[in-house]
Chain A
């Protein structure tokens, strides 16, 4: 099973700042099959990024994904008030499919 470790657990930033979230895999994620989701309190997760770097439909370009192999990054270039949420990575290269533990981005 591929274990995904997200860091930091909590990121405290201000609107307008840049956020850099890390997702590290216990073994290589084949074909960069890694997705990122955003979850706000009381809401379902929302797909942001798939294939490590492709933005989902309707996702603003301040969100970007990068990385390969075992190290992946989600970057939010300039935080908007609505971006404060929990972010999860998920690998879909091998079964069982797994999620990281999440990073909370707080004001």
Chain B
């Protein structure tokens, strides 16, 4: 069974750094793109960026470029979302999700990580 398990909720102060994680299992992690999606409190979904763990090819939505860093470690089947300096406006639930093969819709989702700044 394909599973994506995310790290737990975080409470941080503005200016602090943070890395949250998403560990995949039940499939060959390196072979499927992993996306990160933001959901601010009471709001809709926003596509942040996507990474191919096989070669770390990464693409960012323009509005998130420079604000976050997406990385992956295929040896541990884990993707990461990193902030170097958090803002209050980064308060949200962040989801990782596995992209379908050959098309950019999201087939399986992690449970979400709530980040409070």
Do A and B come together as binding partners? yes
Q: State the total of A-B contacts with C-beta under 8 angstroms.
A: 56
State which of A44, A88, A97, A99 has its C-beta within 8 Å of the C-beta of B112: A44
Taken residue by residue from 31 to 68, chain A's Cβ proximity to chain B (1 for < 8 Å, 0 otherwise) reads as: 00101010000001111001100001000000000000
Whether the Cβ atoms of B47 and A50 lie closer than 8 Å is no
B114 to chain A, nearest CB (A): 10
Whether the Cβ atoms of A99 and B109 lie closer than 8 Å is no
**In which size bucket is the chain B interface?**
20 to 34
> Number of residues in A with C-beta < 8 Å to the partner?
21
B105 at the interface (CB under 8 A from A): yes
Residues in A14-30 with C-beta less than 8 Å from chain B: none
Given A44-B95, A97-B47, A97-B61, check contact A92 B107 (CB 8 Å): no
B88 to chain A, nearest CB (A): 23
Whether the Cβ atoms of B105 and A47 lie closer than 8 Å is yes
Residue of B nearest to A86 (CB): B44
B51 to chain A, nearest CB (A): 14
B45 at the interface (CB under 8 A from A): yes
B26 at the interface (CB under 8 A from A): no
For A69, the chain B residues whose CB sits under 8 A away are none
B54 at the interface (CB under 8 A from A): no
Residues on B lying within 8 angstroms of A by beta carbon are 37, 44-47, 59, 61-63, 95, 97, 100, 103-112
